[in-house]
Amino acid sequence: KYLPQIPRKYKARSRLAQEAHEAIRPTDISKTADKLQLTADHQKLYDLIWKRTVVCQMAEAQVAETSLLVEGQGKKKYIAKASGQKVKFDGWYRVYDKMPIKEQELPELSENDPLDLKKLDKQQKFTEPPPRFTEATLIRELEKNDIGRPSTYAPIISTLYERTYIERQEGGKIIPTPVGKTTVDFLVANFPEVVNVTFTAQMENNLDLIAQGQKTLPASLENFWEPFEKQVEKVAEEAGKMKIEVEETDQKCEKCGKMMVIRYGRFGKFLACSGFPCVLDKAERLAGPCLNLSLSLIR
């Protein structure tokens, strides 16, 4: 009863997935982690792989879900909702030591049964904005939108760091820098089609069609390049006029006494005097150990 009638087969969820590699699985399913002489870490990893391999071919678990709606009687009608669930057949849950879901049974009631209010807890909650991306959640977003391929995810993110478009905060959160914000504003204003989230997916699809012989490379390049080249020539002069936001500091310039600000250069952040014509720049480790900056003065 724990095996499905037909062996399960899985397809890649991403249309652009490269499926040249086999799945990671045990060479002998009869060899469980406790039968092998492995280190503690290796045993945990093997056990994880073994269990995932087994459960993907097991019968589905059956869970009974119950919803209870209670309508309050008074000047205003309020509806309270409670949900419960109970496992009727454990199926693939049986492989795991701990049940993946929490069972919660509701009392047996019939429709229109009267209920007494025993306690009322009042809470005020506010909606929260979505959290900042981490490298892991950013990669999931790339996969979700068919941007890039598994082999290009790491280079995409490392390029954003190298060009100081993004930086990592405590806890692994990624935030855009002033350079990144200015770049995005410029590209969205002048090249909306290129920076659209669907552009890369469409380009990848065209490359696949070219590889399959359904499209030709010259025609595809021409369709993209001609309008793109004209737009580049049109906005080339405006590119040099973009101003990058600076960050204020509480440090004073050692030459003129005016306040220092944080600017962005080729190698990351540096301190610069806000006064003109004073041109004191001071490179420091302002962005953490990921940037290898000189501590010398640059005049």
CATH number at residue 159: 1.10.460.10
Same domain, 280 and 234: no
With beta carbons less than 8 A apart as the criterion, state whether 270 and 263 touch: yes
Instruction: Flag whether pLDDT at 145 surpasses 90.
Output: no
Is 128 a member of any domain?
A: no
| 121-135, 163-177, 272-286, range with the lowest pLDDT | 272-286
Q: Where does the pLDDT of residue 280 fall: very low under 50, low under 70, confident under 90, or very high at 90 and above?
A: low
Same domain, 213 and 279: no
Instruction: Flag whether pLDDT at 33 surpasses 60.
Output: yes
Is 86 a member of any domain?
A: no
Last residue of one domain, picked from the residues 211, 239, 267: 239
Is 251 a member of any domain?
A: yes
Question: What is the tens place of the pLDDT at every residue in 226-247?
Answer: 989 988 888 887 766 667 777 7
Same domain, 196 and 254: no
Is 144 a member of any domain?
A: yes
Same domain, 184 and 151: yes
Tell me how many domains the chain contains. Answer: 2
Same domain, 180 and 273: no
Is 90 a member of any domain?
A: no
Question: What is the tens place of the pLDDT at every residue in 57-77?
Answer: 989 889 988 888 888 877 788
- Provide the pLDDT for residue 115: 85
Is 292 a member of any domain?
A: yes
Same domain, 205 and 259: no
Is 25 a member of any domain?
A: no
Is 289 a member of any domain?
A: yes
**What global pTM score does this model have?**
0.55
End-to-end CA distance of the chain: 78
Same domain, 193 and 287: no
Last residue of one domain, picked from the residues 239, 261, 282: 239
Backbone phi and psi for residue 264, each to the nearest 5 degrees, phi listed first: -120, 130
Average pLDDT along the chain: 82
Domain that holds residue 157: 135-239
Q: Where does the pLDDT of residue 298 fall: very low under 50, low under 70, confident under 90, or very high at 90 and above?
A: very low
How far CA 229 is from CA of 213, 215, 223, 224, in Å, comes to 26, 22, 11, 9
Last residue of one domain, picked from the residues 239, 262, 288: 239
